[in-house]
Amino acid sequence: MPCKAVIFDLDGTLLNTLEDIVNTLNSVLYQHNYPQHSVDACRFLVGHGMRELVKKALPEEAGTPEIIDSMLEDLLIHYAENWNVHSRPYEGIAAMLDELTAQGIKKAILSNKADNFTRLCAEQLLSDWHFDMVMGHTDTFTHKPDPSGALFIAGQLGIEPGDILYVGDSGIDMLTATRAGMFPLGVLWGFRPESELLQFGAKALVKEPGEIITMLMNCPGCPGNSASR
């Protein structure tokens, strides 16, 4: 029996948003006379929420609450103006979402990105598909890998966590899925390497979005399943 729902991470899983995030971050760092970061370096800075992104991007000696607050305020302003310059769904995402829709599989998004930006991304870049829930970070739930957000979505969907496929590109996502009792499926086209996904509990890995459909239909939650590619 296939899983009954899929929860997706957003950045690095459904959407390639890295370039817009990096450009915005570096613009703010430059304005404040702090060192900038390469795209590859930023792959390991994102994923924990926007405040943590600022904290990680600053030199250690500059990471005071006052400086972080000021930088975060500027980052949010700049990102609101530049979030969709380059951001797009990854190749193959559209066909995969079409197939999930055709099969009547419930779909949700759970991101550590601020809730308003998460919803904006879904509304403007994923508007061709209905998601039963779209949830970014708010003060209601702790950031992933705390499982409370994922479990809340499961409750709202009326589906047991063990019947949900959780799809993401980072160790944070794999930990979230494991702690929520969902099946952790890692994608290899995102921001983080294969080694991280396996280290933090991925039970399977996929190289392209179409493979998500195969995983969904092959009952990946069956005990004893091991990581595969």
Q: Is 50 exposed, middle or buried (0-12, 13-18, 19+ CB in 10 A)?
A: buried
Structure tokens at 211: 């493979």
Q: Up-side HSE of residue 183: CA atoms within 13 Å toward CB? A: 29
Q: Is 103 exposed, middle or buried (0-12, 13-18, 19+ CB in 10 A)?
A: exposed
Cβ neighbours of residue 164 under 8 Å, at least 6 residues apart?
A: 3, 4, 5, 6, 7, 150, 154, 157, 180, 182, 183
Cα separation, 33 vs 149, whole angstroms: 36
Residues with catalytic function? 9
Q: Are strands 106-114 and 183-187 parallel, antiparallel or unpaired?
A: unpaired
Helix, strand or coil for residue 84? coil
Q: Collapse the DSSP code of 130 into the 3-class scheme (helix H, G, I; strand E, B; otherwise coil) and give the result.
A: coil
Asked if 167 contacts 153 with a C-beta cutoff of 8 angstroms, the reply is no
Total length of the chain: 229
